[in-house]
Amino acid sequence: MPSNNLESLTEIELEQLLNRQKLPRHIAIVMDGNGRWAEKRDLPRIEGHKAAIEAIRDVVESCGKLEIEALTLYAFSTENWKRPIREVNALMLLLRQQLKEQTEELNENNVRLRAIGQLNRIPKRVRQELERSINITQNNTGLILNLALNYGSRQEIVQATQRIAQAVKEGELKINDINENLFANYLYTADLPELDLLIRPSGEMRVSNFLLWQLAYAELYVTPTFWPDFRKKDLLLALIAYQQRKRRFGGLNDQFQ
């Protein structure tokens, strides 16, 4: 069914089109468009970030109910420190507040929180709240909510390379031990399922230094919807588009029927 026809359907109708046996195991989302959402409404940029909270809650809840295994959200990149200090401080305060307010709900919904990135640069109070939330939810068995904080994929790859080089230097590894599987085990996402689907709201056609290694065979889905307006229906449209793709992994169609 053409995508423009799908958009006219209700959430219930879209759910009926889903094949529950072919859902992605791991979804990643670049939470983009908050600032532009606010600017279109003549509001301060931080209001766009505040409005995005409802999108996060809706998507986390939806992924949990669909039994998606992992959801990685690009929350703050290594490049985001270049933004005005007032915006950065407001973002960190908002993150701390939401961790305080939402952890109980995450726990009740069997969501396990975790985080990737250079977390040592995150302000101490935010980091402490993050660690508290991770500890509270660590035994949950449902959706893994993976926050990418102070994250940059090039930095992640360089760091993995350094750790492998150190292991070779110390005699723990041999050069011939290094392959794709071993390298992947040195990444932040080593214990997560392979990434299947990347969703990019706001219409931007770039991956923004996000999960570059992990994206090798992931499907990309771009929507013009700004992240604060992204809801369950938008997620369902992305999932249906994903299920309509032919994932060949470099092979031929008939090999993956």
- Residues annotated as catalytic are 32, 80
User: What DSSP state is assigned to residue 111?
Assistant: P
Radius of gyration over alpha carbons of the chain, in Å? 19
Asked whether the beta carbons of 118 and 150 are under 8 A apart, the reply is yes
Chain-centroid distance of CA 220 in Å reads: 13
In the chain, alpha helices (H)? 3-6, 11-17, 34-40, 45-65, 85-108, 124-137, 153-169, 180-184, 232-244
Distance CA(27)–CA(64), nearest Å, equals 12
Smallest Cα–Cα separation from 159: which of 116, 206, 207? 116
Give whole-number Cα distances, 104 to 74, 110, 136, 138, 247, in Å: 22, 10, 8, 13, 38
Distance CA(179)–CA(177), nearest Å, equals 6
